Structure 1
Amino acid sequence: MPNKNHHVQNGHEIILTGIHMELTEALKNIAHEKLQRLFRHEDRIVRVRVELEYDKTRGHENQFIAKGHVQIYGPDMICSVASEDCLKSLDLLVDKLDRMIRRRARLQKVKRHHPHPVEIPAAIPKV
């Protein structure tokens, strides 16, 4: 059965779930501290859901899987990483989500500052 931790801070909701592993208080605190980095780049994040999973059937180098789901206004961002250590997987996940959020913010900024002309195929009638 999954071990869940639900946390709301500054209007942002963080849901941390452990699958086939027990989430210790130290691990929960480290995860919340690392996830705060995501909110620096984008304030419109509604919810961040992180699943930390231990899968003993996988090879030793990919036993710990971290899955992230960022609910934001617009399309959600979902990614997953695997490594041999739980904290390393969490670090890699936060880095990957941070890159995704920064890329999205940069593309929106470029789109906002460089509008492209729109071609209208029909002639506009003059009044």
Structure 2
Amino acid sequence: MNNKEVIISGLHIDLTAALKNLVVEKTDKLFQHQERIIRMRVELEYNLNKGNGKSEEFIAKGHIEINGAPMIVSVASDDLYKSIDQMVLKLDRKLRRRSRLHRVKRKQPHEVDIPAQLPKVHAA
């Protein structure tokens, strides 16, 4: 993990070494797509909804700190591993879209419109 920082935290979940290794392995491909990622936080959460029917819900939240606006994604499902996979896919799509938009902006420069009248300068 050279130069890559992944912070993993759990809420109402015991984080095992295998679970931490799985998250690091899945998020490693995000670092391969974008080398400017400063830090990534992954929060895994377990909710037991005590409504009419008891349903378990696992929530995976991903926060990527990158130059510019941070990327935040949250996915909830009935399986923890499924939530982690979908979170990584969403973050991957966001990173690719950001990269594609950055390339499009760079290739299509536009003229700068200055609304004020500038005084003319005469060379002496």
What TM-score do the two structures reach when normalised by structure 1?
0.86
Aligned residue number for residue 3 of structure 1: none
Partner SS, residue 101 of structure 1: helix
**Alignment root-mean-square deviation, CA:** 1.5
Residue from 86, 96, 108 that aligns with 1:102: 96
Deviation for aligned residue 1:126: 4.5
Aligned residue number for residue 71 of structure 1: 65
Percent of aligned positions that are identical: 53
Distance 2:7 2:30 in 1: 14
Distance 1:10 1:102 in 2: 22
- Give the paired residue count: 118
What TM-score do the two structures reach when normalised by structure 2?
0.88
Deviation for aligned residue 1:40: 1.5
Partner SS, residue 40 of structure 1: helix
Aligned residue number for residue 108 of structure 2: 114
Moved beyond 3 Å, runs of 4+: none
Greater gyration radius: 2
| 1:25 aligned onto 2:22 | no
Aligned residue number for residue 38 of structure 1: 30
